[in-house]
Amino acid sequence: MADVRLRTTAAAVLVVAVALLAGAFTLVTLVRGSLRDGLEATAEQRATTLLQQAPDLPRPDGDDDDLLWQVTAADGTVVRSGPPLPDRATDFRPPEGEHDYLVVTERDDDGNRVSVAVSLEDVDESTEALTTPLLVGLPLLLLLVGGVTWVVATRALAPVERIRREVEEITATRLDRRVPEPPSRDEIGRLARTMNEMLARLQSSSDRQREFVADASHELRSPVASIRQAAEVAQTHPAALPDGELADVVLEESARLHGLVDQLLVLTRADGGGFRHTVVDLDVDDLALAEARRLSRTGLRVETAAVGAGRIRGDASALAQMVRNLADNAARHATSKVAVGVRVNGDAVELTVDDDGPGIPADQRERVFDRFVRLDEARARDAGGSGLGLAIVKEVVAAHGGTVVVSSSELGGARFTVRLPAFR
């Protein structure tokens, strides 16, 4: 922070110094020029007056002793002069001294020449009187500017230093900490609020990751424990299990384990934004009809009369998994009937999946999309549900810029409605 303050102060002093020096030089130059112009005008006026007078008249009334003048005839003879001059030669030479003289010469039609010299002593004294305060005042003013800039920069950067110290203490295990937010609504205040929002997102992501790992570990432990238990029984008591039962248990639990791992991988892709790299054009109605045909082979009655054309862009495998999860969820809870529909509604394609099951209570319709959530724990496990199906639906739909909601179905159960941006 000291480097920033030093650079800011140096820059401010340099800019002000350049501006003040330029202003002071301009001021002194203008004042000196104005004074010289005034003296030159006075000398020209006196020269004109002397030319208009006859050479033999006495010295004009009110003549200024500060003005040195002489009138020279056409033949070079000095016919008149003001104060005594050291030299009455033809060439007019003002007396030498500490100060310069400004000389003005005028001629008339007869060849007479008038030379008037005026001392620049007053100009030099006035310039010196103006320069001395500037030489003293400008350094003092620069010191004042530097001090004020340093103090202002220090106060302005103090919140940044507090933010830096707080951020230095934040680690992966201390994401609950927040940087201090100054009351001002300037850039530093917005920076602090943005950092706190970022920390809140990181904390939420970290919490979700820990919960996900814990839940996944719990879910993976169940099929592994079943396989191990069956293997231990078969090893300890070979005759306790019928022939082939161990193989059946291993096959069933490994299939369950395989499905769970696949779903975890889909969620990992969703969290990592992997869907954006495999975007293609596809028809939602094709996905819906394929799942309807699959469900019809399970003995359920599947209605597809409401399936119409609907084209979107997205990850084909992820969207197919989303439709399959909705179909499996409906089949798991349906009594005997499932209905699938696809239509274009404005700028979106709507996919609906209905069942005639018990439905979902209104206060649980948001919770069903959380990971590893089962509203009917025992039945979900028996049916092979992992609690990830609807979570995958939500993640896939959100990754494709869509929404998914739950409502009551006309069949008596639940209706899941997915809205995805249509592709024109």
* Residue whose token pair is 């992501």: 205
Give the distance from CA 47 to its chain's centroid.
Answer: 73
Predicted local confidence at residue 99, as pLDDT: 57
Burial of 170 (0-12, 13-18, 19+ CB in 10 A): middle
Mean pLDDT for the stretch of residues 2-11: 84
Indicate if the pLDDT at residue 62 is higher than 60: no
Q: Which of 24-33, 252-261, 322-331 has the lowest mean pLDDT?
A: 252-261
Four-residue CA torsion sign, 290, 295, 296, 300:
negative
Helix (H, G, I), strand (E, B) or coil at 301: strand
pLDDT value, residue 378: 38
Task: Give the domains, in start order, of the chain with CATH numbers.
Answer: 2-123 (no CATH), 172-272 (1.10.287.130), 274-421 (3.30.565.10)
Closest CA to 372 of 212, 203, 221, 209: 212
pLDDT of residue 57: 46
Residue 305 pLDDT: 93
Yes or no: say if 386 and 332 are a contact pair by the CB < 8 Å rule: no
Structure tokens at 87: 């030299």
The whole-number pLDDT of residue 143 equals 93
| Highest mean pLDDT, choosing among 195-209, 250-264, 405-419 | 405-419
In this model, does residue 107 exceed pLDDT 70?
yes
Q: Check residue 272 and give its pLDDT.
A: 61
Long-range CB contacts for residues 89-97, cutoff 8 Å, separation at least 24: 92/117, 94/68, 95/68
Please state, as a whole number, how many other Cβ atoms lie within 10 Å of the Cβ of residue 263: 21
- Token pair 């010289």 in the structure block, residue: 36
pLDDT value at position 273?
61
Yes or no: say if 38 and 80 are a contact pair by the CB < 8 Å rule. no
CB contact at 8 A, 80 and 116:
no
Confidence of residue 98 (pLDDT cuts 50, 70, 90): very low
Quick: pLDDT tens for 168-208.
Answer: 888 877 888 888 888 877 888 888 888 888 888 888 878 87
Query: Which of 313, 323, 321, 320 lies closest to 278 in space, CA to CA?
Result: 313
Distance CA 123, CA 15 (A): 31
pLDDT at 308 over 80: yes
Alpha carbons 51 and 386: distance in angstroms, whole number: 119
- The tokens for 73 are 């005839």
d(CA 138, CA 127): 16
pLDDT at 385: 57
pLDDT at site 91: 46
pLDDT exceeds 60 at position 127: yes
DSSP string, 386-420: -S-HHHHHHHHHHHTT-EEEEEE-TTSSEEEEEEE
Residues 378-390: what's their mean pLDDT? 58
Given pLDDT bands bounded at 50, 70 and 90, which one contains residue 89?
very low
For residue 74, report the phi and psi dihedrals to the nearest 5 degrees. Answer: -65, -30
Tell me the pLDDT of the chain averaged across its residues: 82
pLDDT of residue 182: 82
The pLDDT of residue 376: 57
Higher model confidence: residue 100 or residue 380?
A: 100
pLDDT average, residue stretch 104-113: 81
Identify whether the C-beta of residue 328 lies closer than 8 Å to the C-beta of residue 320.
Answer: no
CB 191 within 8 A of CB 163: yes
How far CA 213 is from CA of 96, 99, 221, 388, 395, in Å, comes to 101, 94, 12, 13, 17
Rg of the chain, C-alpha, whole Å:
49
pTM of the shown model: 0.53
The sign one gets for the Cα dihedral 340, 346, 349, 351 is: negative
For residue 69, the one-letter residue type is W
Per-residue model confidence (pLDDT) at position 2? 60
What pLDDT score does 339 carry?
96
Q: Which range has the worst mean pLDDT, 68-77, 214-223, 389-398?
A: 214-223
> Do residues 392 and 321 touch, judged by C-beta distance below 8 A?
yes
Q: Which residue has the higher pLDDT, 404 or 98?
A: 404
Q: Is 386 exposed, middle or buried (0-12, 13-18, 19+ CB in 10 A)?
A: buried
- What pLDDT is recorded for position 345? 92
Pairing of strands 348-355, 311-315: unpaired
pLDDT of 270 strictly over 80 = no
In this predicted structure, what is the pLDDT of residue 18? 94
Q: pLDDT band for position 263 (50/70/90)?
A: confident
- Closest C-alpha to 407, from 362, 356, 368, 363: 362
